[in-house]
Amino acid sequence: MDIKTVGLASDHAGFALKQFVKQYLDEKGIPYKDYGTDTDASCDYSDYGHRLATAVENGEVYPGIGICGSGEGINMTLNKHQGIRSALAWMPEIARLSRQHNNANVLVMPGRFIDNDMARNIMDEFLTTDFEGGRHQRRIDKIPLKPEK
């Protein structure tokens, strides 16, 4: 994967894990930009998910990492954007396959359901796995909605 600057976003339930993600990225020497939230005070995942998705679509950051309690809400928000292929991963194998087969450009993790060691293993796979292309590209090309003629 060709990492530019990793974009980060979380809600309050993902805040603690996002702090660990920052530490992990610092250890790896990978730059990042945090789109919020900045505290563990209750907030809406969608506010921060949209910010991250827009930044990935605009090429400001690549890839992105989003976190909320279950991972579901922020993942749904991210995938509303046509240029986003966000993958919810709770184990390393899913992160690897989301890159190999789906060319995922955002990783989502469930902050309330994985520990830091699992998050590290998931990020290791996601950030080092390349897209295979081939038959998978044809499938990815069919994901964005096309206006009807």
Q: Residues 79-108: pLDDT tens digits?
A: 999 999 999 999 999 999 999 999 999 999
Mean pLDDT score of the chain: 97
Annotated catalytic residue 43: no
pLDDT given for residue 123 in this prediction: 98
Annotated catalytic residue 12: no
Report yes or no: 43 and 12 within 8 Å, Cβ to Cβ.
yes
Helices (H), 6-148: 15-28, 45-57, 72-78, 92-100, 116-128, 135-141
pTM equals 0.96
Task: Say yes or no to pLDDT of 16 above 80.
Answer: yes
Catalytic hit among 43, 50, 68, 81: 68
Task: Say yes or no to pLDDT of 145 above 90.
Answer: no
Catalytic hit among 12, 50, 81, 101: 101
